[in-house]
Amino acid sequence: MGESLPEMGAAAEILVVSLETAEARRAAFAARAAGTSLAWRFFDACTAPAPGMTLDEPAIRRNKGRPMTRGEIGCYASHFSIWQDLVARGIPQAIVLEDDTVVDWAYLEPLARADLHALGIDYLRLYAKRPTWQRVVRRDFLQHSRTIVELVGPAYGTQGYAITLEGARRLAAHCASVRRPIDDEMDRSWAHGLPNLALYPAPILEAAVASDIGAARFAPKSDPLYHSLRQRAWRQVERTRMRMLKARRLLER
Tell me what pLDDT residue 9 has. 77
Residue 2 is assigned to a structural domain of this protein: no
E strand or H helix that includes residue 118: none
Would you say residue 5 lies in a domain? no
pLDDT at 121: 98
Domain ranges, residue 167 = 13-252
CA separation for the pair 68, 55 (Å, rounded): 10
pLDDT at residue number 215: 59
User: CATH number, domain at 209?
Assistant: 3.90.550
The whole-chain average pLDDT of the chain stands at 94
pLDDT of residue 1: 58
Domain contains 22: yes
Q: What is the largest CA-CA distance in the chain?
A: 55
Find the helix packing angle between 57-64 and 229-252, rounded to 10°. 70
Q: Within a domain: residue 1?
A: no
Segment 78-94, tens digit of pLDDT = 999 999 999 999 999 99
Q: Which residues pair with 81 in a beta bridge?
A: none
The string of pLDDT tens digits covering residues 210-227 is 666 655 666 788 899 999
Predicted confidence (pLDDT) per residue in 15-68, tens digit: 999 999 999 999 999 999 999 999 999 999 999 999 999 999 999 999 999 999
Q: Is the pLDDT of residue 111 over 80?
A: yes
Residue 4 falls inside a structural domain? no
The model's pLDDT over 180-212, given as tens digits with 9 standing for 90+, comes to: 999 999 999 999 999 999 999 999 999 876 666
Strands 41-44 and 54-55: unpaired
pLDDT category at 141 given cuts 50, 70, 90 is very high
**Cβ distance 96 to 163 under 8 Å?**
yes
- Position 231: which residue type? Q
Residue 129 lies in a domain: yes
Report the domain count for the chain: 1
Is there a domain that residue 7 lies in?
Answer: no
pLDDT tens for residues 18-28?
999 999 999 99
Inside any domain, residue 6: no
d(Cα 211, Cα 70) in Å, to the nearest integer? 13
